[in-house]
Structure 1
Amino acid sequence: MHSPDSTSGTRAAPFPGSGLRPEDLGSAGFRAGHSAAYAYATGSMYKAIASVDLVVRMGRAGLLGYFGAGGLSDEELVASIRRIRAELGDHRPFGVNLLSSRPEREERSVDVYLAHGVRRIEAASYVRVSPALVRYRLTGAHRDRDGSVRTPNLIMAKVSRQEAAEAFLSPPPAAIVRDLAAAGRITPHEAEIAGSVAMCDDLCAEADSGGHTDQRPMIALLPAILTLRERMAFTSPAAGRVRIGAAGGIGTPEAAAAAFVMGADFVLTGSVNQCTVEAGTSDAAKDLLQHARVQDTILVPAGDMFELGTKAQVLRRGLFFPARANKLYELWLRHDSLDELDEDTADHVQRRILGRSFDEVWQEIKSRYVESRPAVIERAEQDPKRRMALTFTWYFARATRAAMEGDAGSRVDFQIPCGPALGALNERLRGTPQEDWRHRHPDDIARLIMTGAADLLSRATHLPTPVAAA
């Protein structure tokens, strides 16, 4: 039920004996490899919602947290890493997100991570591995005296598709390795040993979750990826050493226990940490989140992948954003330009949703891209449907910003990524001091989930054997 332990090369019994402790669950290799007390991590959340304070709080508790670097400028990223390093030093665990993006953006992020000694990244939204990701993985790779390959830069990949899982369980693509070596981006020795390593150390099966989601059910996704690892291990020993974790829906001890029973080497939480003191979003957003129930989320178009039809899961309760976001997407599907909208519809969109005219929105968009990405503006001015998409997704960006800043005048338009796991945790905390988010901290949630899971599994090993009915 668990992968071969990377520190011992042996497979541990799933849940031996009784009196399990939280530190007994999952992979000992995960705990040793990340200097973490539990086989547990907090995932990154866009624009530093997974904040410096959140990551530092986890690290001081001996737990692993990933900083939400997506959407930050290079200057903000560098300043955040320096703050984390100053607080945690060199020996407490932390990681930083690397979001699949434009090649030049990924390259700049990897430059920052290598320059500042970031040894753990969470790779998210990748369908295939990129040159920047391969460069990060192989930089510093070497053979020890015993011949074993060491990769100082550790990658946790979050995937929801088996083909993406296969890419991360495989060695770096040979063509990318050759190109990087030819360009002097990696050394000949690093290129030579590339075939002996997998693209990641930890592979997280991301089921139905807050934010971008493929809505995969954990009960199907996790076993499929575990089976894939076992099959690939026959031809690639490095694949067999990759630890497989579970994310999406992990918000209670019961959910974590179920993941460990299915064979997860670790668990990763997301939405539940957004409703804590340390999360980098507004008090107004947290006030809404702490009242969410399991049924209070809904799918909307993902603003950054609007034209691809990608979906994101957000909070619905008390908000107009979901209905308005879906309305904009329906209009975009049915029309080829803003000029095709009838007068009443155009007026409704401008007054009630955007809060300003199409021309005013377009001027804001142009001012944002005209210097950094002028090709975006040139294409949109030649393609009316593309211009409509940019105009509509301006609303998505504003809704995210309003939620993070707690803009009281735009409260009903808050876009708040959220999965059902938070509703389950809220139910569990109802009637306790932690019902109020002002008494919630990410390390305390980790202890609640992992201690509760250990207790559940301890009791399960002592259940009486059922007697068959006559």
Structure 2
Amino acid sequence: MVTTTPVSGLAREAGSVHDRLLQLDRPFYLIRDAHGIAAGEGAVPGAQVLAAVPPLPAPALGDTDFLTEHGVGHAYMAGSMANGIASAEMVIALAQQGFLASYGAAGVVANRVDADLARIRAELRGRSFACNLIHSPNEPAMERSTIDLCLTHEVRTIEASAFLDLTPQIVRYRLAGLTRGADGTVVARNKVIAKVSRTEVAEKFLRPAPEPIVRELLGSGAITNEQAEWARQIPMADDITAEADSGGHTDRRPLMVLLPEIIAVRDRVQRELGYPQRIRVGAAGGIGTPAAAAAAFALGAAYVVTGSINQATVETGQSWQTKRLLAGAGVNDCDMAPSADMFEMGVEVQVLKRGTMFATKAKRLYDAYRAHEAIEQIPAAERNSLEERIFQRSLDDVWQECITFFEQRDPGQISRAQDNPKRRMALIFRWYLGLSSGWSISGNEGRVSDYQVWCGPAMGAFNNWVAGTYLAAAENRHAADLATHVMRGAAFTSRITQLRWAGARLPASACSYLPEPLEPGTGRNR
């Protein structure tokens, strides 16, 4: 019999339906009774169930193995940002709220990396975190230094980025942590999360370490005979992050294409080699909103990685001038520019275009590098223009600064350039590319037009999403808040999607997740 008296506890107004959907740890039923359509937590006698979804709290998204293996509460990672932009403060703040975060060691001098890793370990007291290892083909000493420090501080996870091929240093880290478990299986204490945008690179990390590198490490005493033998039984990585259109190093691949492609490669290699534990595949690039994160999980991502949006948070190492530039960016305010660390190879990075002329100036330097074999071959008028408009000093002075810099950091760079004018020109041009991110980080007021700010379109999408909310202002953006809202919003969006698949039609105002201030320590809206 159809009920004639309205059942108490049902939500009938759009706002009330929205609030019910936000109760992520409870089931949601959409019903039709004699009084119309309503939402509740279960079926109602005499009413028709139009659609129903089970509880979906944010920690249930993604692969639960990711949570277990990394000791975190959410399948979410804040990716590394070089030059310490992904700061110790950011890593600590996120880890204390149950999120995995990667310290941005790339480009940071060794003594600071040493101090930051020591601080992170001391403050986190056993909580999980990662440290970035960026592939540095022109500065191999940097890779070696980072791995040395990670091993010294017993950092149990590294995020490997921008790799084109495996190097002895990343293999050394992986194999140095191999041991035999109580059940006789090989255990990799040193975890590797490899961020890739190409299937051929992904496959290198999906397979065991190359035998020639293993033999080299064994011969040098870096690993034991047992570790060399065990190396054949495990892949180089525990997790593969499919990096789509992101800030910094990127191939600007569409996530809808890249993620399924990497998952397919993973499945093929897994079948071939029969690993006892499946390698997880996560998603990065373009993830700055709950809808983007929900889409990645729907595609099969084991976890999601954010990057650009974290730059504009309170805890990062960026200056407030840059944070405010980022908070005003739109989805079209990005451009590609030559990379400082892979300048000679023509590799580009994605940077912020709004409020800075860096991309235009950096491209001009690369054009000059390609057109000439030495600084001395650059026409006088062009050289004067470069000195006045880009370097703001003579190129001879820049070269002397390069000598001073590399004598302390990597003397081999100078010795290799002494009799190689082309390489000397590259180091001089890389001076500008390298310092430009430092000017952004320090907030150098005289160099605003030269700021190099790594940024992808996710930044603009995030800004559009939070417009009109408390997160519109950079001063209110805390990294853990952003992570919480992205994951809660992704769970909310996923429930909406499930209801739509079941044929349900809900008011538009009931279907949007907007961030509201969180209760401290709870992860819930006030």
TM-score range for the pair, normalised by the shorter chain length: over 0.9
CA contact (8 A) 2:356 2:449 kept: yes
* Cα drift, residue 124 of structure 1: 1.2
Gaps of 5+ in 2: 1-51, 505-526
CA contact (8 A) 1:30 1:39 kept: yes
- The answer as to whether partners of 1:198 and 1:239 remain within 8 angstroms in 2 is no
Q: Counterpart amino acid of 2:178?
A: A
**Following TM superposition, by how much is the alpha carbon of 1:466 offset from its aligned partner in structure 2, in angstroms?**
6.4
SS in 1 for 2:336: strand
> What's 1:6 paired with?
none
Going from structure 1 to structure 2, the CA distance change for 1:410 and 1:290 (only over 3 Å counts) comes to same
SS at match of 1:168: helix
Q: 1:165 aligns with which of 186, 195, 202?
A: 202
Alignment of 1:98-113 (within 5 A): 98-101=133-136, 102-113=139-150
Asked if structure 1 preserves the Cα contact closer than 8 Å seen for 2:105 and 2:146, the reply is no
Residues 49-76 of structure 1 show CA distances to partners (whole Å, capped at 9, x for unaligned) of: 0000000001110111111111122211
Superposed displacement of residue 179, structure 1: 2.6
Q: Distance in 1 between matches of 2:231 and 2:380?
A: 60
Cα deviation, 1:233-277, whole Å, max 9, x if unaligned, reads: 112122861100001111001111111111110001101000000
Contact 2:309 2:462 in 1 (8 A): yes
Residue of structure 2 equivalent to 1:4: none
Q: Is the 8 A contact 2:248 2:350 kept in 1?
A: yes
- Cα distance in 2 for partners of 1:464, 1:199 equals 39
- % identical equivalent positions: 43
Residue 46 of structure 1 pairs with residue 82 of structure 2: yes
Deviation, 1:339, is 3.0
Output the TM-score relative to the length of structure 1: 0.92
Instruction: Kindly indicate whether structure 1 or structure 2 has the higher relative contact order, using CA contacts under 8 Å at least 6 residues apart.
Output: 1
Task: Provide the TM-score with structure 2 as the length reference.
Answer: 0.82
> 1:279 maps to which residue?
316
Amino acid at match of 1:29: D
2:278 is aligned to: 241
Per-residue deviation, residues 368-407 of structure 1 (Å, max 9, x unmatched): 2246544433443433332222222211122111111001
| 1:1-40 superposed matches below 5 A | 17-40=53-76
Provide the rounded CA distance (Å) in 1 between the counterparts of 2:53 and 2:409: 60
Match of 2:364 among 294, 305, 327: 327
**Closer, same or farther: CA 235–271 of 1 in aligned 2, 3 Å:** same
- Secondary structure of 1:249's partner? coil
**C-alpha contact (below 8 Å) 1:69/1:97 kept by paired residues:** yes
Larger Rg: 2
2:125 matched residue in structure 1 = 89
* Partner secondary structure for residue 262 of structure 2: helix
- The one-character-per-residue Cα deviations of 1:182-214 (angstroms, maximum 9, x if unpaired) are 332212222222111111111101111111111
Structure 1 residue matching 2:435: 3-state secondary structure: helix
Equivalenced residues, count: 451
The CA deviation at 1:464 is: 5.5
Alignment of 1:127-166 (within 5 A): 127-166=164-203
Cα 1:372/1:72, change in 2 over 3 Å: closer
Paired residue for 2:214, among 174, 177, 181? 177
Return 5+ residue gaps in structure 1 as ranges.
1-15
| RMSD value, Cα | 1.8
The verdict on how the C-alpha distance between 1:379 and 1:180 changes in structure 2, with shifts beyond 3 A counting, is closer
Aligned-partner residue type, residue 192 of structure 1: E
Please tell me whether residue 444 in structure 1 is matched to residue 484 in structure 2: no
Secondary structure of 1:136's match? Answer: helix
The residue aligned with 1:219 is 256
* 3-state SS of 2:500 partner: coil
Residues 17, 139 of structure 1: CA spacing in aligned structure 2 closer, same or farther, 3 A cutoff?
A: farther
- Structure 1 residues 332 and 176, CA gap change in structure 2 (3 angstroms): closer
Distance 1:464 1:59 in 2: 35
